[in-house]
């Protein structure tokens, strides 16, 4: 680096400095170097996967679906037929013992009593049903 302290010419005009300012160039190069250092390990990182060998099973078993409806009068229906609490528990117990368990779709009506719906859910959990779905929940959204 040099410092220009004065002029040797007789005129009062200062001399024009002809050196290039390298500071911005060095700053840009350092930023690019840091970006390169950060991105190289990401590009070299690999994930090893052990893919299964062999042929997949040819047919997928579709599980049976059981429909449990609760109408506006809070009457419970099993596959379209009205049932009382004892019959419902007996049928749910039989379904819970089957292998594989079928899906149980519970579809309550919006104006039915919540206690009946909660009783059906509690009975299904108590009897060991694991594949339960509540169908038609969009009717409860305001």
List of residues 6+ apart from 123 with CB closer than 8 A: 85, 88, 89, 92
Q: Can you tell me the mean pLDDT for 35-46? A: 74
Asked if residue 95 lies in contact with residue 129, where contact means CB atoms within 8 angstroms, the answer is: yes
In this predicted structure, what is the pLDDT of residue 75? 92
pTM greater than 0.75 = no
Whether pLDDT at 63 is above 80 = no
Asked if residue 120 lies in contact with residue 89, where contact means CB atoms within 8 angstroms, the answer is: no
In this predicted structure, what is the pLDDT of residue 11? 64
Domain borders along the chain are 65-140
Q: Can you tell me the mean pLDDT for 112-119? A: 90
Backbone φ, ψ for residue 75 (5° rounding): -90, 135
The second-level CATH assignment, the architecture, of 65-140 is 2-Layer Sandwich (3.30)
Structural element, H or E, at residue 83? strand 81-83
> Residue 101: pLDDT band by 50, 70, 90 thresholds?
confident
For 46, the token pair is 């690999």
């Amino acid at each position: 680096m040099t410092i220009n302290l004065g002029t040797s010419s007789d005129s009062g005009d200062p001399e024009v400095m002809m050196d290039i300012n390298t500071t911005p160039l060095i700053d840009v190069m350092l930023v690019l170097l840091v970006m390169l250092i950060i991105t190289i390990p990401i590009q070299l990182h690999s994930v090893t996967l052990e893919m299964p060998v062999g042929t997949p099973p040819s047919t997928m078993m579709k599980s049976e679906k059981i429909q449990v409806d609760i109408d506006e009068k809070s009457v419970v229906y099993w596959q379209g037929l009205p049932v009382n609490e004892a019959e419902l528990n007996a049928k749910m117990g039989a379904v819970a013992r089957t292998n594989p368990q079928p899906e149980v779709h519970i579809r309550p009506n919006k104006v039915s009593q919540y206690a009946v719906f909660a009783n059906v859910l509690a009975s299904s959990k108590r009897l060991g049903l694991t594949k339960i779905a509540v169908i038609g929940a969009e009717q409860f959204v305001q």
